[in-house]
Amino acid sequence: MGWILVTSATVILFLQNYPLYIRSVPTENELKFHYMVHTSLDVVDEKISAMGKALVDQRELYLGLLYPTEDYKVYGYVTNSKVKFVMVVDSSNTALRDNEIRSMFRKLHNSYTDVMCNPFYNPGDRIQSRAFDGMVTSMMIQVC
């Protein structure tokens, strides 16, 4: 049940609904992002249960959560092991296309797998892998 939250960018990686990894590019308003992420977690859970067997899923969560003054798109992604990646993207960016989001999630997932392969990483720890950080940074730079 991990999370990654990416906004424009904020990345939060959650495991079992507690965060494994958080990264934001605009560092202000992080709490707002966290709040959004938490609310979107419910939506994600809902979708997971609804999907049933489909474990690896890429979904889009749309705005219903957002303040009317701001536009954010919240994207979610779940891995086989129920690690949730949540990405919050500022809509004021030119809207990212779905496949871009998907590719970003795929990259996140790959990097996360690499982190898991490290025997010194205990699942549930916060992720401190530099490679992971680097990947997320490059992604966020790309987005912003």
Partner 1 sequence: MEAAASGGCGSGPPLLLSEGEQQCYSELFARCAGAAGGGPGSGPPEAARAAPGASTAASGPVADLFRASQLPAETLHQITELCGAKRVGYFGPTQFYVALKLIAAAQSGLPVRIESIKCELPLPRFMMSKTDAEIRFGNMAELHGTKVQIPYLITEKNTFKRMDDEDKQQETQSPTMSPLASPPSSPPHYQRVPLSHGYSKLRKSTEQMHPAPYEARQPLVQPEGPSLGGPGAKPLRHQASLIRSFSVERELQDNNSSYPDEPWRITEEQREYYVNQFRSLQPDPSSFISGSVAKNFFTKSKLSIPELSYIWELSDADCDGALSLPEFCAAFHLIVARKNGYPLPEGLPPTLQPEYLQAAFPKPKWECALFDSYSESVPANQQPRDLNRMELSIKDMADFPVPTQDVTGDDKQALKSATDEALPKDMSEDSATPKDSNSLKARPRSRSYSSTSIEEAMKRGEDPPTPPPRPQKTHSRASSLDLNKVFQPSVPASKSGLLPPPPALPPRPCPSQSEQASEAELHPQLNRAPSQAAESSPAKKDIPYSQPPSKPIRRKFRPENQATESQEPTTAVGGPASVATVKPHPTVQKQSSKQKKAIQTAIRKNKEANAVLARLNSELQQQLKEVHQERIALENQLEQLRPVTVL
Q: Does 121 bind partner 1 (CB under 8 A)?
A: yes
How far apart CA 136 and CA 18 sit, in angstroms, is 19
- Residue 13 and residue 83 in contact, taking contact as beta carbons nearer than 8 Å: yes
- Kindly indicate which of the ranges 34-42, 67-75, 88-96, 124-132 contains the residues binding partner 1, using the contact rule CB under 8 A: 124-132
Taking CB under 8 A as the criterion, which residues in 22-51 touch partner 1?
none
Q: Answer yes or no whether residue 53 interacts with partner 1 by CB under 8 A.
A: no
Closest CA to 66 of 37, 45, 86, 95: 37
Kindly state whether residue 79 participates in binding partner 1, applying the rule CB under 8 A. Answer: no
Q: How many residues bind partner 1 (CB under 8 A)?
A: 12
Identify which range of 30-38, 54-62, 64-72, 126-134 contacts partner 1 by CB under 8 A: 126-134
What 95-103 contacts at long range (C-beta under 8 Å, 24+ apart), as own/partner pairs, is 96/143, 98/60, 101/58, 101/60, 101/75, 102/58
Nearest distance from residue 38's CB to partner 1, in Å? Answer: 28
Q: Comparing C-alpha atoms, which of 11, 7, 3 is closest to residue 136?
A: 11
DSSP 37: H
Site for partner 1 in 89-118 (CB under 8 A): 113-114, 116-118
Interface ranges with partner 1 (CB under 8 A): 113-114, 116-121, 128-131
